[in-house]
Structure 1
Amino acid sequence: MIKKVKCPGSATIINAIATGFGSAFGIGLNIECEAKSIDSGIKCSNDVGASTELMDLCVNKVFDKYFIDKEDFGLEIKTHSTLPMASGLSSSSASSNAIVAISSKIISEEFDLAPLSDLDIINLAIDASIEAGVTITGSFDDATASYFGGVVVTDNRNREFLIKEKMDDYKILVYMPNFHAKSGDSDVNRMKVMAPLVETAFDFARNKDYFKALNLNGLIYASALGFDSAIAIDAIQAGAIASGLSGTGSSFVAVCEDNVIDDIKNAWSSLEGRVIETNVDNEGCVFL
């Protein structure tokens, strides 16, 4: 049996590290995952040369959930990505969502068992990400924006939705510098010092004023983490509706209309790195 699924990444509106409350929206850069049943064991590989620890953990958690013995049944998992790794665009959430979802689908069909619910899949994926050390808060906001698409506002500590809805269809520009920043390596204490300001930004998100929230959150976290906030300000000056640091970096995102794409690219043209053009994703995880 062979199955394929794709899960999008997400961009940050509110980074949850400072307060435990977050917000994110799906973007059109994806992790595609192909899985096939094999006689025994778990074999994982990816096209970016990254460690397969998270992949292995995700599959093992599904096996454990279904009480499947790896000596009697196995899965081979391969992922292909258009989503930059370690860039603040939820690559870990997208990967873990895809792997748990596809593992659950194959096992449930192979053994005629009930499939896992959406939230079961998300929670197993988050548990694996925490165990692998690739997330600080559990990233319920990133995980759910990836899985469902659209925009979410969440209580990450309790893994609860405050808002979950479709997002208007905007163009998204992503500035990717020539370096990476892993979430698990970030200075948590430095970010938590900014909690009172992040709470103000979160109030905007809770009231569905997502772009003010994104702008303010981006400035706060860029300052705390040592990124150049002028990158976001230049995009806004060039016509972006909103712009800011995504996650704990290293990428910046700009939300815009079609007619200012070239202006924003020009504003970022002197920066070292690359600019990726994509869009809002409202589909989330989809089997292919």
Structure 2
Amino acid sequence: MHGRASAPGAGTVLNALATGVGSAFAIDVETRASVELDGSGTVRGDVAEDPDADTRLVERCVERCVERFGDGEGGAVRTESDVPMAAGLKSSSAAANATVLATLSALGVDVVDEREERSARDGRVDTDDAVTRVDACLMGVEAARDAGVTVTGAFDDASASMLGGVTVTDNREDELLARDGVDWNVLVWTPPERAYSADADAERCTRIASVADTVADLALAGRYAEAMTVNGFAFSAALGFSADPAIEALPDAAGVSVSGTGPSVVAVGGAAALDTVRERWDDRPGTTLLTETRADGARIYD
């Protein structure tokens, strides 16, 4: 009983810490998961990049899938990732999505596409034998809550990673408000330090709720690049990050924001414009990565 899957990381349009409404977009940097189920009854996790990493999230993802579709199986889950951990690029959501899909594959559970998903909502798919992509995503979200690695539930990040494109969600209700396609080049600057989502000062972020409402309105109107720039300046201040990288990206980038709870900063736009931004960011300590948006989201490997 073996399964393999991958899921992309994501960048932030709107941080959900202020109001519970969030928005994110998938980027072409992946986490891969391999799951081997057996009769042990216990789950063992392993992170290729860090043997000492906390594996509770991926282990809980396997357990939740087995609780719903399995028969008490245990086993091993191993992840390897090009998404830096604790950098604001949704590494936890990517790991959760990849692990859930790999486990469902190992259990022989079908993951239905969007057309079938619409049929499922109309009662025309037997969900005892299949799971929709949104439902699979929510299994990972619940596992993240169980493991205590998220403040908001991160359905915005997880949905972008699972579905691809850009999504807007209400994390309080686990509701997908909008999904759209975006076609951007993406530049990421990641400083040497790391920041963990569970350590973010959520109470401080609620003070900018009115700004977050404005960002949500922009996102729901399809003005994603403008939305992320407003989000970036507001949440840089709330989370205690310098806005200097964002200033350096403007006016060349179409949009720029601190991603998640940081510390990475993400700029989007055309290739030539981002080359100019990269010349400035390369003078900063840390690393820069030039990639692009992803339309297809998470996927299972045969």
TM over 0.5: yes
Q: Does 1:191 align with 2:201?
A: no
Instruction: Confirm or deny that 1:32 pairs with 2:45.
Output: no
Residue 257 of structure 1, CA deviation: 0.9
Q: Report whether the alignment pairs 1:279 with 2:282.
A: no
> Any residues of structure 2 matched to 1:107-186 within 5 Å, and which?
107-108=107-108, 114-168=129-183, 170-186=184-200
Q: Is this contact kept in 2: 1:93–1:142, CA < 8 A?
A: yes
- Structure 1 position 57 matched with structure 2 position 60: yes
| Unaligned stretches of 5+ residues in structure 2 | 111-127
CA distance in 1, matches of 2:129, 2:102: 14
2:255 alignment partner AA: A
Distance apart, 1:201 and its partner CA? 1.5
Q: Match of 2:136, as an amino acid?
A: I
Contact 2:267 2:274 in 1 (8 A): no
Asked if the contact 2:188/2:289 (under 8 Å) is kept, the reply is: yes
Residue 245 (structure 1) aligns with: 258
Alignment check: 8 A CA contact 1:105 1:115 kept: no
Distance 2:274 2:259 in 1: 19
Could you tell which deviates more after superposition, 212-221 or 45-54? 45-54
Identity %: 35
TM-score (norm 2): 0.89
Does the aligned pair in 1 maintain the 2:4–2:101 contact within 8 Å? no
Task: Write out the 4+ residue segments of structure 1 that deviate beyond 4 Å after TM superposition.
Answer: none
| Matching residue within 273, 276, 301 for 1:263 | 276
Give the TM-score of the pair, scaled to structure 1: 0.93
Instruction: State the alpha-carbon separation in 1 of the partners of residues 2 and 97 from structure 2.
Output: 17
Q: What corresponds to 1:104 in structure 2?
A: 104
Q: Which residue of 2 aligns with 1:226?
A: 240
Asked if the contact 1:15–1:217 (Cα under 8 Å) also holds between the matched residues in 2, the reply is: yes
C-alpha contact 2:239 2:261 (8 A) present in aligned 1: yes
C-alpha distance 59-197 of structure 1, shift in aligned 2 (>3 A): same
The alignment's C-alpha RMSD in Å is 1.6
Q: Distance in 2 between matches of 1:174 and 1:263?
A: 13
- Corresponding residue of 1:207: 221
Partner of 2:115: none
Deviation at residue 274 of structure 1 after TM alignment: 0.6
Distance (Å, rounded) in 1 between the aligned partners of 2:243 and 2:225:
16
CA deviation after TM superposition for structure 1 residue 185, in Å: 0.1
